[in-house]
């Protein structure tokens, strides 16, 4: 066998073994029907929380330089690749929405029912995200929290606000500039599943999203 063909055969065999290993690995701990739904929702493609002009003033005051508009697509593409690599196998979705990125984290990795305390599994996930987000500082960071329909709308909105604030505080405590951060809880108002009449659907609706939008000045 020629050297080039031998190398190809070894590489092919390695790829087959790798695929076999992937197939035998346990699946991520996520709801069975969880999928990257809702990417066209207006709240994901609209302006950042508080408005980009107001947020840009805070960024300038913190001496954070904007990304060159011509370089923004490549900057976000690099960030997308890095996030996907760093969070591979954790069980979350990294989604491209417009010119931004949404990191969607399902209930299994976020909070216990009725709680706004970051649990250990979510702590590890957030730490990986924070490591990347803090170094790629030419982005606005929106933290969005959601609940299912269990409980009253008022209770759910308050709970989601606390959860969004908890995640925002965590990111700030691990090096992400406070000037980049804003948080909002939507309660049960923006479900992925309607109605959420099974535990799988409820779990899909209980989620945290971290939205990254390029800061162009």
Q: Which fold has domain 31-214?
A: 60s Ribosomal Protein L30; Chain: A; (3.30.1330)
**pLDDT classification of 37: cutoffs 50, 70, 90:** low
**Residue 100 in contact with residue 173, Cβ under 8 Å?**
no
Question: What is the predicted pLDDT for the residue at 33?
Answer: 45
Mean pLDDT, to the nearest integer, of 2-12? 37
How far is it, in rounded angstroms, from Cα 119 to Cα 132? 21
**pLDDT classification of 177: cutoffs 50, 70, 90:** very high
Mean pLDDT, to the nearest integer, of 51-58? 97
Rounded to the nearest integer, the mean pLDDT of the chain is 83
HSE of 198 in the Cβ direction (CA atoms, 13 Å)? 9
The alpha carbon dihedral of 33, 185, 169, 213 has a sign of positive
User: What φ, ψ does residue 135 adopt, rounded to 5°?
Assistant: -85, -25
**Residue 211 in contact with residue 98, Cβ under 8 Å?**
no
- Could you tell me which residue, 8 or 132, shows the higher pLDDT? 132
pTM of the complete model: 0.82
Torsion angle defined by CA atoms of residues 140, 36, 77 and 167, in that order, rounded to the nearest 10 degrees: 30
């Amino acid at each position: 066998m020629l050297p080039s063909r031998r190398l190809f055969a070894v590489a092919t065999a390695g790829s087959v073994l790798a695929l076999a290993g992937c197939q035998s690995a346990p699946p991520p701990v996520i709801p069975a029907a969880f999928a990257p739904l809702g990417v066209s929702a207006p709240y994901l493609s609209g302006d950042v929380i508080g408005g980009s002009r107001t947020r840009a003033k805070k960024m300038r005051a913190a001496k954070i330089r904007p990304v060159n508009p011509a370089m923004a697509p490549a900057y976000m593409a690099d960030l997308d690749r890095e996030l996907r690599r760093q969070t591979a196998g954790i069980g979350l979705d990294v989604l491209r929405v417009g010119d931004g990125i949404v990191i969607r984290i399902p209930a299994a990795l976020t909070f216990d029912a009725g709680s706004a305390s970051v649990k250990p599994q979510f702590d590890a996930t957030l730490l990986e995200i924070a490591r990347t987000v803090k170094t790629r500082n030419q982005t606005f960071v929106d933290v969005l929290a959601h609940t299912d329909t269990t409980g009253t709308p008022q209770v759910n909105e308050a709970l989601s606000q606390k959860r969004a604030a908890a995640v925002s505080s965590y990111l700030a405590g691990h090096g992400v500039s406070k000037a980049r951060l804003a948080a909002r809880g939507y309660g049960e108002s923006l479900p992925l599943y309607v109605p959420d009449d099974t535990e799988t659907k409820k779990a899909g609706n209980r989620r945290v999203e971290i939205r990254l939008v390029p800061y162009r000045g």
